[in-house]
Chain A
Amino acid sequence: MARYHPEDELLLEYAAGRTDWAVSICVAAHLHFCPSCREQVAKFNRIGGHCLEQADKVDVPEDALNSVMAMIRTESRGEKAPNPTKAAPAVKPAFQQLPPVIQKLIPDSGKVRWSFVTPALKAARLETGQDKYEVCFHRIKKGGTVAEHDHNGRELTLVLQGRFSDENGTYSVGDFLMKQPGETHRPTATLDQDCLCLSVQEAPVKLTGLVGRVINPFLRVRPG
């Protein structure tokens, strides 16, 4: 079970529907691994239910109920109501253990495009329908170390497979880390297997070490 969790404030904003799209994806993927945070979100949803119940009623148009009934009748006359759970696309076996929300980010081909960043790190950009954050898979080779870097913006990391450690601890599947601007770290994968992470970066990462020049061009936020 995950040992590193999003802060309550972040879960609250998520439950209220206020978190940025890319951040929400990362939180949802953590929830997949973490029953206790799911329970927390369920409670925060109840605060939402309370707020809804306390909202000032505002009249809807007189014919609104009839319009809605007409829509419902049309729908039930036609085909069955659309199945709310879309058929999951065929996903490469390597990704089958991932949270459903992450699987949906993998292209229909079932492949992601890995780019070489350093000998220890490969990255694959994921299309998420937003451009405020760079969302990537990071794969750290077993025993490999990622160059020390700090952050211009927030960086969220969720461990999806394997384990890595940094100055502060060791992180396993489901663990959720948030780095604030100015915080540096130097992740190292454990020796037994490669480590796959979801990385959500608010702004381009700055490299503090010598290899910086190599990584920076890749990790820039896509223009436009």
Chain B
Amino acid sequence: MAIAPGSTNIVASTTMREDEWSQLLARLATAGDEGVFARLFRHFAPLVKGFYLSNGGLTPESADELVQEVMVKVWRKAAGFDPRKSSASTWIFTIARNSRIDYLRKHASNEAATSTLESEDIWSEGTDNPPFVYLQQSLDQRDIDILLSELPQEQRECLFKVYLEGKSHADLAEELNLPLGTVKSRIRLGLSRLKSAVNL
């Protein structure tokens, strides 16, 4: 199927639920369909860009470059996506995270040039995917979404900033003008609430 720029799947696609994105990505995995890919692109490319810009460290131009790289990888790796193991957004998050790490390393240091490792050696399929026996007891993405939205604001804020704004616990403490111990305990409380709710 040819791709017309600005074609009109947008309205339909923004109203899809998360698990339907996963089904769509699974379809891409089996069929390699360009029309399916275009719908995924229109949904996820702006999300990845927004995610990158809130992460810091990237200009809008480099974010655009990286978003394209991520979406090429989504196509190339789609066959490895398994909707029983993760949702589309989690799977794409890991690709976006790894691509950003490699990009920043490549542009920040000479040391990286001497490395035999890339992010995918460290944040690899093998380490990202638990064995099946654990998966059976685990939650689906929607449960996680609900649990996160039920956390007290201050705990959720701390948790999200680690992901969204690239803050270490120490950065967070400085930004929120709180002792490091307080930030750590908020994150710990948030995590333990998730844990006790779902045997996480």
Chain A residues with a Cβ under 8 A of chain B: 8-9, 12-14, 16-18, 21, 24-25, 28, 31-32, 35-36, 38-43, 45-53, 55-69, 71-72, 75, 81, 84, 100-101, 104-105, 127-131
Contacts and interface: CB of A to CB of B under 8 A. Distances in A.
Contacts of A71: 68, 72
> Which 7 pairs show the lowest CB-CB distances between chains A and B?
A129-B115, A49-B90, A57-B46, A39-B130, A49-B89, A31-B127, A55-B51
A47 B123 CA distance: 16
B77 to A, nearest CB: 7
Contacts of A36: 134
A195 B93 CA distance: 38
A101 B86 CA distance: 23
B42 interface: yes
A209 B10 CA distance: 68
Contacts of B141: 46, 49-50
Contacts of A67: 68
Contacts of A58: 46, 49-50, 53, 60, 63
B134 A56 contact: no
Given A9-B188, A47-B159, A51-B93, A128 B87 contact: no
Interface string B40-80: 01100111111101100000100110011001100111000
Interface of B: 3, 5-6, 18, 34, 37-38, 41-42, 45-51, 53-54, 60, 63-64, 67-68, 71-72, 75-77, 85-87, 89-94, 96-98, 100-101, 105, 109, 111-117, 119-124, 126-131, 133-135, 138-139, 141, 144-145, 148, 159-160, 162-164, 166-169, 184, 187-188, 191, 194, 200
B111 A130 contact: yes
A50 B77 CA distance: 21
A111 B68 CA distance: 39
B156 to A, nearest CB: 10
18 contacts: A21-B115, A38-B130, A39-B130, A45-B94, A53-B18, A55-B50, A55-B54, A59-B46, A59-B49, A60-B67, A69-B3, A69-B34, A71-B68, A101-B122, A105-B117, A127-B115, A129-B111, A130-B112
Contacts of A101: 117, 121-122, 124
Given A16-B97, A52-B47, A8 B188 contact: yes
A52 B48 contact: yes
Contacts of B91: 49
Q: Quick one: which of A35, A42, A72 has the most chain B CB within 10 A?
A: A42
Contacts of B75: 68, 72
A38 B124 CA distance: 11
B87 A28 contact: no
Contacts of B120: 84
Contacts of A104: 116-117, 121
A46 B126 contact: no
